[in-house]
Structure 1
Amino acid sequence: MPSQNNTVAATKTSFRILEELKRADGAGVTDVASELGIAKSTVHNHLQTLSEEEYIICEDGTYRVGLRFLELGEYTRNRMDIYEKARPEVNALAEETGEMVNAAVEEHGEGVYITRAEGGQAVSVDTYAGKRVKLHCTALGKTILAQLPESRVDEIIAIHGLPERTENTITDPAELKTELDEVRERGYAYDREERLPGLRCVAAPVVADDGNLVAALSVSGPTTRIKGDLFHEEIPELLRSSANVIEINMAYS
């Protein structure tokens, strides 16, 4: 994200440190300082402040992100109308398909999972509520991008790029835009092992009365099961039906 002239350097340093603690799944002062190229004394002061404010915890010299962030995240999510309206449909769709079902929104040019549910035969993948993913390599993300103005798509590409996640990831802007045209035409998007090898996904948009995108809804599963008519016809139809229910509930309840 482009830097603004009125940003506060110390605050940005605190967040860089928090992101490093998350990435490393916990770290000491020396490790954080070395990884970020920041003086140990500076890192120590930031960690002490974050600990006193109860945003991180320290266990035997290892600092970790604390549960105070869960409180903030739950507060934010529970204020979102789409979360309350989508959650029952996500659960029902997971039960019906037996697979992993997710709902996501766009924030700062990335996809953010707001709720998920696992069906009886769902495979375990690296998604969880609050996880952020690049938009170009997921069905959810391509569904979101297809609903945005081209100028906004160009802006997101400029900021986040099109990093390759697997050999199937679309990394060329022109190819991605062609794919987005197809998504708009058929009304749903595919992820053909573009973020994780062996995983396919289908996603459909949830659109408000004013025509603006609210969220994207997806079903994902292993390539050994998500194939043929299930991949190309049955799951897309289930997704569009569930998205329509959410849209109606948002408009009239």
Structure 2
Amino acid sequence: MASETPEGGGIKSDETLFDLVEHIREADGAGVTELASATGRAKSTVHGHLSTMRDRGFVVKRDGEYHLGLEFFNYGHHVRARRAVYDAALPVLRDVADDTGETAWLMAHENGRVIYLDGRSEGLDININSLIGSWKYMHSNSGGKAILAHLPEEEVDEILARHGLPSQTEATVTDREQLDEELAEARERGYALNFGEDLSGVHAVAVPLILEGSVVGSLAVAGPAHRLPRERCEGELADRLSAAANDVQLSLTYR
């Protein structure tokens, strides 16, 4: 019988498994010796977990190193497809990217952070796939702030207590009172802004996606600061995203 970790109540063998997965991902492939050293586990333990994951398709071995397998893609695709907002937003996302000439994003939240569910970029040299599936702090991301602005206050408190307000750039809002003011403004005007708070030199604007009174995601447009000045974000782009959000919400309502 697996033992439990005293501090979190979790299963030690599960902790080991996920530690291995995380290190393989971060290292983009690793051998048994490296994994044992990085996770503080015995080589025999590491090898046992790797053998199980290899049998199930979650890791593959190439040139003496273990890499994450495509079975993770299978599960990830299933999880994403199960969100109704994903199917509803896809055609709208393409249209927004087409109309604006910028990168359009669909985002969702879980466990106090936002994730890029999908993105579209028309005619721009941007690697969308490098960001799809990545997590971001909500307070420094326009899509995250658009969602935060429409969550119950107690849930916002829980999220910020869990993750804090870590600084991503010099422009990141790290003061709770200032963030609350921004969220109130976002609720009133219908969109949230990010001027270099997540990545220096990148501006973004986002609107919430609301279904039956609950926020289920957000749509955002992002790009270089020189192409997305405040005036464009608050005017043309906010208006286009608002219209797109209406289309998505209508599709969700009658799905």
TM-score above 0.5: yes
The residue aligned with 1:33 is: 36
Unaligned runs of 5+ in 2: 1-6
Contact 2:148 2:183 in 1 (8 A): yes
Quote the residue 1:199 is aligned against: 202
Distance 1:187 1:237 in 2: 10
More divergent stretch after superposition (123-132 vs 31-40): 123-132
Q: Secondary structure at the match of 1:136?
A: helix
CA contact (8 A) 1:113 1:127 kept: no
Matched to 2:24, the amino acid is L
In the other structure, the counterpart of 1:246 is 248
CA deviations 1:47-105 (Å, max 9, x no partner) are 12211211011112211111101111111222221111000000110011111111111
- Quick check: 1:135 aligned with 2:145? no
> Are 1:123 and 1:221, in contact at CA under 8 Å, matched by a contact in 2?
no
How many residue pairs match? The answer is 249
2:179 counterpart SS class = helix
What residue is the counterpart of 2:176 in the other structure?
173
Give the Cα separation in 2 of the matches to 1:89 and 1:250.
Answer: 12
Structure 2 equivalent of residue 21 of structure 1: 24
Identity of aligned residues (%): 38
Matched residue, 1:216: 218
* 2:121–2:128 Cα contact (<8 Å) kept: no
User: Does residue 1:235 correspond to 2:237, yes or no?
Assistant: yes
Name the residue aligned to 2:96: 93
Equivalent residue letter for 1:86 = A
| Structural RMSD (CA) | 1.7
Q: 8 Å contact 1:115–1:129 — kept in the other structure? A: yes
| CA deviation after TM superposition for structure 1 residue 34, in Å | 2.1
Q: How does 1:45-60 map to 2 (within 5 A)?
A: 45-60=48-63
Q: How many angstroms apart in 2 are the aligned matches of 1:177 and 1:227? A: 23
CA distance, structure 2, for counterparts of residue 114 and residue 4 of structure 1: 29
Q: Deviations over 1:103-125 (max 9, x none)?
A: 11111111112121112236446
Alpha-carbon spacing, 1:78–1:125, altered in 2? closer, same or farther (3 Å): closer
Q: Deviations over 1:131-159 (max 9, x none)?
A: 22111110001111111112111111122
Does residue 145 (structure 1) correspond to residue 121 (structure 2)? The answer is no
Alignment pair present for 1:111 and 2:114: yes
Query: Matched residues in 1 for 2:96 and 2:205: separation?
Result: 13
